[in-house]
């Protein structure tokens, strides 16, 4: 079963949008297997966003993700990576389609609410950054055979 890392950024927490966005992911049929509310330190932020190191927006990106609590999660399901990326919408909320998370709730490019892994390799790397293996839960959904 495919797994992905999803993070609600500080603006999602501040705007109290966790519930509506979580509901969208659950309604799609994905299984939540790990979740923690945390404040990211600068070292973890730099490691998480290492692919952007050296780019002009990197310092702002690190500062923002460390500015308040985030909700880090691992979701599981068939095609979960591509599906959640589609549900998120384009990175720039002004370009994101209505019906997507960023299209419906996003404000600006720097306040785009949510991060989701873009590949299986990224998901594996990001999950290991934020969770220990024993924090990932294994269980059956009672509705699993109908989803």
| Whole-number Å distance between alpha carbons of 64 and 54 | 16
Residue 115 appears among annotated catalytic residues: yes
> Residues 48, 52, 64, 115: which is the catalytic one?
115
106 and 93 Cβ atoms separated by less than 8 Å: yes
Instruction: Please write down the HEC assignment for all residues of the chain.
Output: CCEEEEEECHHHHHCCCHHHHHHHHHHHCCEEEEEEEECCCHHHHHHHCHHHCCCCCHHHHHHHHCCCCEEEEEEECCCHHHHHHHHHCCCCCCCCCCCCHHHHHCCECCECCEEECCCHHHHHHHHHHHCCHHHCCCCCCCCHHHC
> Among all residues, which ones are annotated catalytic?
115
């Amino acid at each position: 079963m495919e797994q992905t890392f999803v993070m609600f950024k500080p603006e999602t927490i501040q705007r109290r949008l966790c519930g509506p966005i979580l509901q969208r992911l659950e309604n799609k049929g994905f299984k939540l297997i790990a979740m923690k509310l945390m404040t990211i330190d600068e070292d973890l932020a730099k490691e998480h966003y290492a692919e952007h190191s050296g780019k002009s927006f990197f310092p702002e990106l690190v500062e923002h993700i460390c500015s308040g609590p985030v909700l880090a999660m691992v979701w599981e399901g068939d095609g979960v990576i591509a599906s959640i990326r589609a549900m998120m919408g384009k990175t720039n909320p002004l370009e994101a389609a209505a019906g997507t998370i960023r299209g419906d709730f996003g404000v600006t490019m720097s306040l785009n609410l949510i991060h989701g892994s873009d590949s299986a390799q990224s998901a594996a790397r990001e999950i290991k950054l934020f969770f220990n293996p024993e924090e990932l839960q294994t269980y059956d959904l009672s509705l699993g055979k109908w989803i």
